[in-house]
Amino acid sequence: MIEAPLQFVRPREPKPDWLKVRAPGSENYLRLKGIMQDLKLNTVCEDAHCPNIGECWNHGTATFMILGDICTRACAYCAVAHGKPAALDIDEPRRVGEAVERMALKYAVITSVDRDDLKDGGAGIFAETIRDIKTRMPECRVEVLIPDFKGERAPLETVLDAKPDVLNHNTETVPRLYRMARSGGKYTRTLELLDRARTYAPTIATKTGLMVGLGEEPDELVQVFQDLRGVGVSILTIGQYLRPSPDHAVMTRYYHPDEFRDLKRIALGLGFVHVEAGPLVRSSYHAHEQADAFAASTR
């Protein structure tokens, strides 16, 4: 049963206290930054201006961004640079694996820019990266946050065949806002990808993320929750959209932490195994806990 629309709290200006975070600078943060620079690796933590970089890096976790740092799409919400990417770096999987080993990670997240210029969208590099990590660190779980591969089935199966522990593809926003927010993306394609992943590899958890504050309505969010459960998604993240620059999509308002709690309650009521919802939540935030919840649900 769909509950009555949420009554949203009025926005606060300037930036609310719950969105203020301490600038990073711990010893472990600086150590990890040095490893990334030494191995010439990119992280979405830095390129996407993630507000949790200090907390996550201080705890020895990071999200690696493979396939370069130039995206072939220009999504209105994203801080990652777009344009013509550099040539494919076939040594990158080895360097990511080495970084995971040097950092002694127990959980690694691998994402990428969109590479529509490549025949397989970069799926082969994703697969090689997963395998390199698993060879070096068999106990390390690997989550991949993948692009949509233009809706093609073969690249998705290439990634799944490498046996990541979690397959994540972000929905980002409600269907009505796709044309504005997601350059080259389609809502139906997102649902199809998540459904194919669950069907092809049912033991691999499927996960997705949403941003709020782009102009969506409460009933639209609830409908997206239902659509995602309809294709078997187990893990959902919901976070506040923060405008990277004046050139990006306008943020319509801040959500109060109480509203995130309401959204989490509704989503859990629809059957998600784990929901991470909050102003500073991003796809990889507390990712290991989300994977733990899925594993527990399958026992």
pLDDT digits (tens, 9 = 90+) for 39-56: 777 665 555 556 656 566
- Contacts for 160 with CB less than 8 Å, ≥ 6 apart: 167, 197, 200, 201, 204
Domains located in the chain, CATH noted: 21-297 (3.20.20.70)
**Residue 5, both tokens:** 């629309």
Could you please report the per-residue DSSP string of 129-190? HHHHHHHH-TT-EEEEE---GGG-HHHHHHHHHT--SEEE---BS-GGGHHHH-TT--HHHH
Phi, psi of 274 (to 5 degrees): -145, 135
| Residue pLDDT tens, the chain, 299 long | 445 455 554 444 577 877 766 655 566 667 777 777 787 776 655 555 566 565 665 565 668 999 998 999 989 888 888 899 989 999 999 999 999 998 888 889 999 999 999 999 999 999 999 999 999 999 999 999 999 999 999 999 999 999 999 999 999 999 999 999 998 899 999 999 999 999 999 999 999 999 999 999 999 999 999 999 999 999 999 999 999 889 999 999 999 999 999 999 999 999 999 999 999 898 776 666 776 767 777 76
Q: Quick one: which of 46, 48, 123, 129 has its CA closest to 82?
A: 48
Distance between CA atoms of 87 and 261, rounded to whole angstroms?
44
- Contacts for 293 with CB less than 8 Å, ≥ 6 apart: 235, 273, 274
Residues 228-274: tens digit of each pLDDT = 999 999 999 999 999 988 999 999 999 999 999 999 999 999 999 99
Q: In what order do the strands lie in the sheet with 274-278?
A: 42-43, 63-66, 107-112, 141-145, 166-168, 205-212, 235-240, 274-278
Determine the number of helices (DSSP H) and then strands (DSSP E) in the chain. 11, 8
Distance between CA atoms of 136 and 125, rounded to whole angstroms?
17
Distance between CA atoms of 88 and 83, rounded to whole angstroms?
15
Strand partners, 206: 167
pLDDT score, position 53: 62
pLDDT score, position 24: 57
The dihedral through the CA atoms of 130, 185, 69, 34 has a sign that is negative
159, 296, 297 from 164: Cα distances, Å: 8, 17, 18
pLDDT score, position 52: 56
pLDDT score, position 298: 75
CA end-to-end span of the chain: 28
Could you please report the per-residue DSSP string of 89-133? -TTHHHHHHHHHHHHT-SEEEEEE---TTSTTTTHHHHHHHHHHH
Contact 280, 51 (CB under 8 A): yes
pLDDT score, position 15: 79
